[in-house]
Structure 1
């Protein structure tokens, strides 16, 4: 996909491992981006640690201070109106997630600090887009695609978790996975609406990695080309996958190409 100088990719959850790695590759490729961050200095520090210069950040990245409850901030990530030129993000990458927390429970020992954070984020992104489309109707001619980082273990079509992880995924991780599933449902339900004018995105991709390991450091991955890639009806089943590799796969296969060949799919990634 060829990007023009006024196009940009919108990132949510940019301090998370997979999304941060994807953002690093995006900036290194000379593309422009926006990102929502509760603490902008944390994001810039993470980018510096990956070798992204301050000059690159200044020239290519706009960081909006705020969180996923702030609709105004979300709109600023998704939309630019400089000199009367209304521009909406060409793609949205969302890797928002909660922080795992252990609790004394045999049935559900793992929860997250905000058990509805993924669904809430998606609802708010969708609300922000509706407001943008209403205020600036011309933006509906260039709706963004959206790619979300979800998880294996939530499919109603085919088991995508190895036998040794089934109890861990379907019992211990039931709460966070319920949230991921609701996030996907919200997008798919909107995209299935018969009236195309009410569809908020031009396409969507749900990336379902197996258990994430490692951090965002793009030099520590095993290589995105080595990943096993599957779809919901024929998933790639494995135990773990490196965060940096997931981030680079999204950059290489979705951002660089535009992602059209994956629209409407739930993609499983594993080592």
Structure 2
């Protein structure tokens, strides 16, 4: 398996990438700073083996993303089996507007760039990669209503800016993958460019055939509980809820989210294709 990974320098993308490499996959990483792994002994082993290819590039730069696609095609001998998109912005405090993202539409614009630069050889349904895109529980109106009451203040104070960006990405995915979209989900002005549906190269309505969207509940650091020893037949310690919300979705670790992506979404693709999956303990 060859994977094109965007957002793999840290957090979910990083942990998922390591799991895939350990399974024998090869990965093309698009990184703003390829030296981010210079002191990472575990990652260096895969880089030296040629299993992990680091490409300098920014998701906000269309030509960088296009170049990443080309490098991934070359590394995969003309094939890219999966695309893992985990790009997300970092909150910063501003005197003018409180908590905000340095790039308010980082996730949305980067995803537009990824989708609009898919190589021609990967556009036919049978040739398309499997796309796994991580957004967030709470970015749509329905999922926000399901957020536990005790977490609502946290979501309402810290997450409006990231969720506005994630909702833009969700809108794009709904369009290109033919997923459902609710009229109450209004994308904030400035997140999507005007006339985005006509972006050159963007797949048309429903043309992207192989997509899974991941909705983690409130993310936290910590161990991967799914790696702990379990009795034969015992389920993973997290819940994966296909196309539905629950009112007791509190937390999930980044490592367990990565575990689901690698050991469930990609490993059992037919079970999850075309769905939005809420992940929570």
Choose the corresponding residue for 1:228, options 223, 239, 254: 239
Alignment partner, residue 232 of structure 2: none
Contact 1:203–1:264 (Cα < 8 Å) also in 2: yes
Provide TM-score, normalisation by structure 1.
0.80
* 1:235-266 deviations in Å (ceiling 9; x for gaps): 47322211111111101112223x23212211
Q: Secondary structure at the match of 1:223?
A: helix
Question: How much does 1:138 deviate?
Answer: 7.6
Matched, 1:264 2:271: no
Tell me how far apart the structure 2 counterparts of residues 243 and 109 of structure 1 sit (CA, whole Å).
Answer: 26
Choose the corresponding residue for 1:93, options 77, 84, 96: 84
Alignment partner, residue 4 of structure 1: none
Question: How much does 1:65 deviate?
Answer: 0.8
Alignment partner, residue 21 of structure 1: 15
Consecutive unaligned residues of structure 1, counting only runs of 5 or more, are 1-6
Choose the corresponding residue for 1:244, options 243, 250, 255: 255
Alignment partner, residue 113 of structure 1: 102
Alignment partner, residue 167 of structure 1: 153
Consecutive unaligned residues of structure 2, counting only runs of 5 or more, are 180-202, 228-235
Tell me how far apart the structure 2 counterparts of residues 71 and 114 of structure 1 sit (CA, whole Å).
Answer: 15
Change in CA separation of 1:22 and 1:75 when aligned onto 2, cut-off 3 Å: same
Question: How much does 1:160 deviate?
Answer: 3.0
Tell me how far apart the structure 1 counterparts of residues 160 and 238 of structure 2 sit (CA, whole Å).
Answer: 26
Contact 1:236–1:269 (Cα < 8 Å) also in 2: no
Change in CA separation of 1:254 and 1:73 when aligned onto 2, cut-off 3 Å: same
Give the RMSD, CA atoms, in angstroms. 2.7
Q: Number of aligned pairs?
A: 247
Tell me how far apart the structure 2 counterparts of residues 88 and 236 of structure 1 sit (CA, whole Å).
Answer: 41
Of the structure 1 ranges 260-269 and 180-189, higher mean CA displacement relative to structure 2 is found in 260-269
Tell me how far apart the structure 2 counterparts of residues 104 and 126 of structure 1 sit (CA, whole Å).
Answer: 35
Matched, 1:142 2:127: yes
Q: Secondary structure at the match of 1:45?
A: coil
Alignment of 1:1-271 (within 5 A): 7-46=1-40, 48=41, 51-55=42-46, 57-79=48-70, 80=72, 82=74, 87-103=78-94, 109-129=98-118, 132-133=119-120, 136=121, 141-158=126-143, 159-192=145-178, 198=204, 199=206, 201-214=208-221, 220-223=223-226, 225-235=236-246, 237-257=248-268, 259-271=269-281
Change in CA separation of 1:230 and 1:168 when aligned onto 2, cut-off 3 Å: same
Tell me how far apart the structure 2 counterparts of residues 153 and 55 of structure 1 sit (CA, whole Å).
Answer: 36
Alignment partner, residue 188 of structure 2: none
Change in CA separation of 1:189 and 1:252 when aligned onto 2, cut-off 3 Å: same
Tell me how far apart the structure 1 counterparts of residues 255 and 130 of structure 2 sit (CA, whole Å).
Answer: 22
Provide TM-score, normalisation by structure 2.
0.78
Contact 2:5–2:27 (Cα < 8 Å) also in 1: yes
Change in CA separation of 1:137 and 1:203 when aligned onto 2, cut-off 3 Å: closer
